[in-house]
């Protein structure tokens, strides 16, 4: 990709806790092009949100972005910026949408006031102008009667409306990149579809790039062009959405896809991946997925797999790339054996 | 914006409920009477009307609350006493609220080692019994000017407020909207003043309201044992002390300031409790403008 908007190279974010060093994000590299929507998927605890917060440098102590990590955004090294310069990027060039719209809004201010605040922080807009901007943004995200709605408090709105407000806040400055951290997880299914449509619509209008973090493969299928699958703090597979759904390579991705309900297969019992994500203080040796993997063999227990290129633009961190015949002999994973 | 404020006040008053509204009206009347004491009081506060003929007079139409042993009008002195008692207590709690909120907010926002040091210091201060400390200081500093009494009461009364604010600020700091504000580029100072302070104000207002009642009792108590407010300045505490010191027949000299203390403290407590219940913004009614999503769901059903 020529001149990507965001280029993350070897990002490591570790937390120094009493229980040991939690390697929440461990050597993650990816790129996001201008106007592109990239999906970041994985179970809870695999490092998605920490990756997002790392891009904005919002990791609080005892967490730390390790030296050697590099993040280039619009040609600037984010990790070399002063805190003040970084502040100008947050909300202005990169904005974030959070999972729970109730807690992402301040309960004591009207929603209009909170949207206006962004314009006041970054534009130095007057109270009047910022308020008008807020009303305009509410209209843009499809809130009816925006003039009146702007004067309401977050608790007076429904979940879907609140998420629209959060999106309005993120888009005030027309950022180049929006990081949406599970923006639909806390919402009803019908509202989820509306919010995804809204994001797609706004992206087309403003040409914003979106990093969509989710654990919902359905959301991925309908809204992104490229997918990054994370497991155990690492990227385990990266592909276009077509490649990923047609030919998933990594057993973890396979598991995620078969855990997704599909039309036409209603009668079948949904598959699950046995076990849970191990704690980030003690990732397993070799392949971090080996104890949950139905194809694991001796090599996966000792040798940490690199990212293999299995086809053009399709990367997978699995030794099956070199020993594809192993895929024919699935067995019960280690964690399910005892 | 202005109509908005009026609207909010009306809603607040409505939400308070009957007893608290009565308490609020009574307190406002007391403050008004205290403020207007020079206008409404029939005499000057220390005026001795007739030391021989008019001492120890029981309540009558001429002297509603009677007269004391040196022939001063008890009603007049109760009104002037309100000026001292109410202003000392209110200002002292204001000092406590400002100091406590600032201290708690700084500790709670910065966290880490700063917080640890500030909280251990607070623990040390809390280990000192407030009343004994006040008695010790006031016994040595006698008579104490009123402004210093306010400061002493305020500076020994902020510990609870600051612990409360610190705990609230710590809880708020982890909330998503604070992270969201940072992700949108807000400075630390803005986060402290705009996102944390307003969210801790409710408990501060409640504690301060309840605290004024306590300080009135404390001031009365100190004055009662002769080391708070001093003669001839009238405060409810000094009047009560004088009234009980006189012989038992002149009950009115102690009863009226006593009633004033009880009623005021009761009103502050009732009001404080009601404010606690109503000031939480989650009690506001939901919007009546229907969202399209909701309409859709209703149709689907």
Q: Residue B297: is its pLDDT beyond 60?
A: no
pLDDT 10s digits, B166-192: 988 888 887 888 888 888 888 888 888
Contacts with A166 from chain B: Cβ below 8 Å: 180
Indicate the pLDDT class of residue B90, thresholds 50, 70 and 90.
Answer: very high
- Chain A interface mutation, best of B111, B182, B183, highest count of A Cβ atoms under 10 Å: B183
User: Taking CB atoms and an 8 Å limit, are A148 and B289 in contact across chains?
Assistant: yes
Q: Count of CB contacts below 8 A, A vs B?
A: 104
Distance, in Å, from the CA atom of B191 to the CA atom of B90, rounded to the nearest integer, reads: 29
Q: Residue B176: what pLDDT?
A: 83
Supply angle C-alpha B261, B258, B73, rounded to 5: 110
What residue of A is the nearest CA neighbor of B177?
A104
Nearest to B254 by CA among B228, B220, B286: B220
Residue B88 tokens read as 């000392």
Q: Which two tokens stand for residue A34?
A: 């201008």
A88 touches chain B (CB under 8 A): yes
- The DSSP secondary-structure symbol of B285 reads P
Q: Report the C-alpha gap between A174 and A191 in whole angstroms.
A: 24
Say yes or no: ipTM exceeds 0.85: no
Q: Please report the pLDDT score of residue B298 as a whole number.
A: 38
pLDDT band at B293 (very low <50, low <70, confident <90, very high): very low
Return the number of other C-beta atoms located less than 10 Å from residue B35's C-beta: 14
Q: What is the pLDDT of residues A233-266, one digit of tens each?
A: 999 999 999 999 999 999 999 988 888 777 666 6
Q: Which residue has the higher pLDDT, A70 or B301?
A: A70
Number of residues assigned to chain B: 301
CB contact A185 to B (< 8 Å): no
A271-285, B91-105, B111-125: segment of lowest average pLDDT = A271-285
Relative to beta strand A94-97, strand A177-181 is: parallel
Separation of alpha carbons A49 and A51, rounded Å: 5
**pLDDT at position B29:** 92
Q: What is the Cα–Cα distance from B258 to B269, expressed in whole angstroms? A: 17
Calpha distance B283→B12 (Å, rounded): 10
d(CA B231, CA B242): 10
Token pair belonging to A332 = 């019960």
Query: Which residues, 6+ apart, have CB-to-CB distance to A28 below 8 Å?
Result: A8, A10, A11, A12, A47, A51, A230, A233, A234, A235
Say whether A194 and B293 touch across the interface (CB within 8 A). yes
**What is the pLDDT averaged over residues B22-28?**
91
pLDDT given for residue B285 in this prediction:
46
Structure tokens at B129: 């019994």
Task: Give the Cα separation of A130 and A115 in Å (integer).
Answer: 8
pLDDT in tens, B5-14: 677 777 777 7
φ/ψ (deg, to 5) at A249: -100, -50
Structure tokens at A325: 């015949």
Tens digits of per-residue pLDDT, A149-179?
Answer: 999 998 889 888 898 899 999 989 889 999 9
Determine the average pLDDT of the residues in B108-131.
89
pLDDT tens readout for residues A68-78? 999 999 989 99
Phi, psi of B45 (to 5 degrees): -60, -35
Checking if the pLDDT of B286 tops 90, the result is no
Q: Which of B185, B201, B297 to mutate to test the interface with A (most CBs of A within 10 A)?
A: B185
Q: Distance between CA A100 and CA A194 in Å, rounded? A: 16
Q: Is B67 helix (H, G, I), strand (E, B) or coil?
A: strand
Could you write out the three-class secondary structure of chain A?
CCCCCEEEEEEEEEEEECCEEEEEEEEEEEEECCCCEEEEECCCCCCHHHHHHHHCCCCCCCEEECCCCEEEECCEEHHHCCHHHHHHHECCCEEEECCCCCCCCCCCCCHHHHHHHHHHHHHCCCHHHHHHHHHHHHHHCCCCCHHHHCCCCHHHCCHHHHHHHHHHHHHCCCCCEEEEECCCCCCCHHHHHHHHHHHHHHHHHHCCEEEEEECCHHHHHHHCCEEEEEECCEEEEEEEHHHHHHCCCCHHHHHHHHCCCCCCCCCCCCCCCCCCCCCCCCCCCCCCCHHHCCCCCHHHHHCCCCCEEEECCEEECCHHHCCHHHHHCCCCCHHHHC
pLDDT, position B95? 95
Which residue would you say has higher pLDDT here, B210 or B17?
B210
CA–CA distance, A239 with A317 (Å, rounded to integer) = 12
Among A255-264, B88-97, B234-243, top mean pLDDT goes to B88-97
- Crossing angle of helices B252-278 and B197-224, rounded to 10°: 170
pLDDT-derived band at A2, boundaries 50, 70, 90: low
pLDDT per residue as tens digits for the range A280-289: 888 888 999 9
Q: What's the whole-number average pLDDT of chain B?
A: 82
A105 and B CB contact within 8 Å: yes
- State residue B296's pLDDT score: 38
**Residues 6+ positions from A90 with CB-CB distance below 8 Å:** A56, A58, B182, B183, B184, B185
Residues pairing with A25 in the sheet: A13
> What pLDDT was estimated at residue B299?
37
Determine contact: A170 vs chain B, CB below 8 A.
yes
pLDDT band for B294, please (50, 70, 90 cuts): very low
Asked if pLDDT for residue A300 goes beyond 70, the answer is yes
Please give the pLDDT value at position A138: 92
Count the neighbouring beta carbons within 10 Å of the beta carbon of residue A185.
Answer: 14
State the Cα–Cα distance between residues B278 and B13, nearest whole angstrom.
9
- Predicted confidence band at A79 (pLDDT cuts at 50, 70, 90)? very high
8 Å CB contact between A69 and A79 = yes
Contact A140, B213 (CB under 8 A): no
Tell me the pLDDT band of B81, cut-offs 50, 70 and 90.
Answer: confident
Residues of B with Cβ-Cβ distance to A103 under 8 angstroms:
175-177
pLDDT at B93 over 50: yes
Query: Do residues A174 and A207 make contact, with C-beta atoms less than 8 angstroms apart?
Result: no
Q: Tell me, what's the pLDDT at A287?
A: 93
pLDDT in tens, A20-63: 899 999 999 999 999 899 999 988 888 888 999 999 998 887 88
Question: pLDDT value at position B112?
Answer: 81
Per residue in A182-238, pLDDT tens? 888 878 888 888 888 888 888 888 889 999 998 888 888 888 899 999 999 999 999
Q: Give the separation between CA A117 and CA A106, rounded to whole angstroms.
A: 12
- Provide the pLDDT for residue A263: 67
Name the more confident of B25 and B293.
B25
Q: Do A160 and B198 touch (CB under 8 A)?
A: no
The tokens describing B149, both together, are 């009494």
B210 three-state secondary structure: helix
Q: Do A169 and B175 touch (CB under 8 A)?
A: no
Nearest to A166 by CA among A152, A180, A176: A180
Nearest to B185 among A92, A144, A194 (CB): A92
Tokens of B233: 């300045």
Confidence of residue B15 (pLDDT cuts 50, 70, 90): confident
User: Is pLDDT above 50 for B89?
Assistant: yes
């Amino acid at each position: 990709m020529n001149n990507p908007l965001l280029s993350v190279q070897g990002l490591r974010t570790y937390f120094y806790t009493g229980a040991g060093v939690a390697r929440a994000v461990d050597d993650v590299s990816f790129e996001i092009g201008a106007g592109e929507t990239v999906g970041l998927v994985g179970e809870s605890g695999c490092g998605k949100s920490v990756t997002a917060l790392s891009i904005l440098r919002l990791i609080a102590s005892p967490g730390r972005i390790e030296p050697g990590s590099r993040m280039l955004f619009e040609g600037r090294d984010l990790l070399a910026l002063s805190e003040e310069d970084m502040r100008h990027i947050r909300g202005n060039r990169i904005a974030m949408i959070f999972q729970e719209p109730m807690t992402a809004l301040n309960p004591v201010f009207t929603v209009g006031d909170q949207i206006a605040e962004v314009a006041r922080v970054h534009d130095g807009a007057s109270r009047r102008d910022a308020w008008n901007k807020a009303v305009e943004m509410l209209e843009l995200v499809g809130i009816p009667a925006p003039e009146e709605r702007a004067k309401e408090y977050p608790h007076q709105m429904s979940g879907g409306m609140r998420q629209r407000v959060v999106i309005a806040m993120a888009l005030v400055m027309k950022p180049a990149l929006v990081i949406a951290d599970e923006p639909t997880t806390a919402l009803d299914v019908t509202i989820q579809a509306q919010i995804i449509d809204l994001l797609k619509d706004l992206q087309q209008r403003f040409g914003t790039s979106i990093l969509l973090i989710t654990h919902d493969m359905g959301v991925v299928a309908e809204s992104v062009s490229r997918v990054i699958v994370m497991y155990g703090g690492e990227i385990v597979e990266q592909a276009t959405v077509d490649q990923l759904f047609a030919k998933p390579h990594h057993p973890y991705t396979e598991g995620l896809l078969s855990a997704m309900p599909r039309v036409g297969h209603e009668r079948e019992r949904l598959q699950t991946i046995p076990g849970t994500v191990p704690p980030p203080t003690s990732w397993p040796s070799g392949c971090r997925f080996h104890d949950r993997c139905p194809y694991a063999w001796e090599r996966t227990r000792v040798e940490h797999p690199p990212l293999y290129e299995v086809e053009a633009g399709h990367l997978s961190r699995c030794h099956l790339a070199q020993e594809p015949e192993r895929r024919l002999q699935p067995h019960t994973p280690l964690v399910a054996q005892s | 914006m202005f109509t908005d404020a009026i609207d909010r006040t009306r809603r607040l008053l409505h939400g308070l409920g009957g007893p608290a509204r009565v308490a609020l009206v009574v307190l406002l009347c007391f403050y008004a009477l205290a403020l207007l004491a020079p206008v409404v009081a029939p005499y000057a506060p220390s005026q001795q009307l007739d030391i021989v003929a008019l001492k120890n007079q029981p309540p009558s139409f001429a002297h509603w609350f009677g007269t004391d042993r040196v022939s001063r009008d008890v009603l007049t002195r109760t009104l002037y006493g309100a000026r001292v008692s109410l202003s000392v207590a209110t200002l002292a709690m204001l000092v406590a609220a400002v100091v406590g909120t600032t201290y708690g907010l700084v500790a709670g926002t910065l966290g880490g080692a700063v917080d640890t040091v500030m909280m251990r210091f607070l623990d040390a201060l809390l280990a000192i019994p407030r009343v004994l400390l006040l008695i010790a200081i006031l016994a040595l500093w006698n008579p104490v000017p009123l402004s210093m009494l306010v400061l002493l009461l305020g500076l020994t009364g902020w510990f609870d407020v600051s612990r409360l604010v610190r705990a609230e600020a710590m809880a708020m700091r982890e909330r998503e909207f604070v992270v969201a504000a940072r992700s949108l580029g807000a400075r630390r100072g803005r986060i402290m003043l705009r996102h944390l302070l307003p969210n801790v104000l409710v408990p501060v207002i409640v504690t301060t309201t309840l605290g004024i009642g306590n300080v009135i009792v404390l001031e009365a108590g100190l004055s009662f044992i002769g080391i708070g407010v001093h003669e001839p300045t009238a405060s409810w505490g000094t009047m009560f002390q004088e009234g009980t010191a006189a012989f038992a027949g002149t009950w009115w000299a102690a009863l009226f300031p006593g009633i004033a203390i009880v009623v005021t403290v009761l009103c502050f407590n009732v009001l404080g409790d009601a404010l606690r219940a109503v000031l939480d913004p989650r009690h506001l009614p939901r919007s009546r403008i229907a969202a399209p999503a909701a309409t859709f769901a209703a149709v689907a059903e």
